[in-house]
Amino acid sequence: MRESRGRSRLRARPSIDLTPMVDVVFLLVIFFMVSTTFITMESGLPVDLPSAQTSVTEPSTLPTVTITKDESIFIGGAQVSQAQLVDAVRKQMASSGYTTVVLRADASVPHGLVVTVMDLIKQAGAKRLAIATGG
């Protein structure tokens, strides 16, 4: 039999290397910091959006039509009339490559005007229409 009285065995203590986890957390922090800088609102037009309990805020590069409180219609920051809206929406969709259009209408705008603008957007060839709400 072997005796190991004089010898002491050194065992390495198991440890968890935190370096990869710190790297991942650091990359996530950088990702969220960079991605939040790209969140912008449509050209700063003052619109009191109607609120919804299920609304989700997402950044958008989609063509956006805005109807202000005084019933003015804007697309891409430029004011247009109802007669010019169809052509303006077509140009915005062609330049952006998207067929979805976002409609931002002030809460005080009459429902009839919103429906008319929605119809004009569809006439311009939009496949989908997203209605912006406040959060």
Lowest mean pLDDT of 1-5, 58-62, 79-83, 125-129, name the range: 1-5
- What is the average pLDDT score of the chain? 80
Report yes or no on 23 lying in a domain. no
* Residue 7 located in a structural domain: no
- % of the chain with per-residue pLDDT over 70: 75
85 found inside a domain: yes
Domains: count for the chain: 1
Residue 4 has pLDDT above 70, yes or no: no
Edge-to-edge strands, sheet with 100-105: 78-80, 73-75, 64-67, 100-105, 128-131
**Res 81 pLDDT > 70:** yes
Q: Is residue 135 over pLDDT 90?
A: no
Mean per-residue pLDDT for 17-27? 89
Domain interval for residue 100 = 64-131
In a domain, 43, yes or no: no
Give the model's pLDDT for residue 120.
92
Residue 88 counted as domain residue: yes
**What's this model's pTM, rounded to 2 decimal places?**
0.58
Mean pLDDT of 105-119: 90
Say how far apart CA 113 and CA 85 lie, in whole Å.
Answer: 13
Residue 124 in any domain: the answer is yes
106: domain CATH number?
3.30.420.270
Q: How far apart are CA 65 and CA 132, in angstroms?
A: 10
Residues with Cβ within 8 Å of 90's Cβ and at least 6 positions away in sequence, in order, are 124, 125
For residue 79, being part of any structural domain is answered with yes
Whether residue 49 is contained in a domain is answered as no
User: For residue 41, what pLDDT is reported?
Assistant: 46
46-52: average pLDDT: 65
Higher pLDDT, 21 or 60: 21
Three-state DSSP state, 114: helix
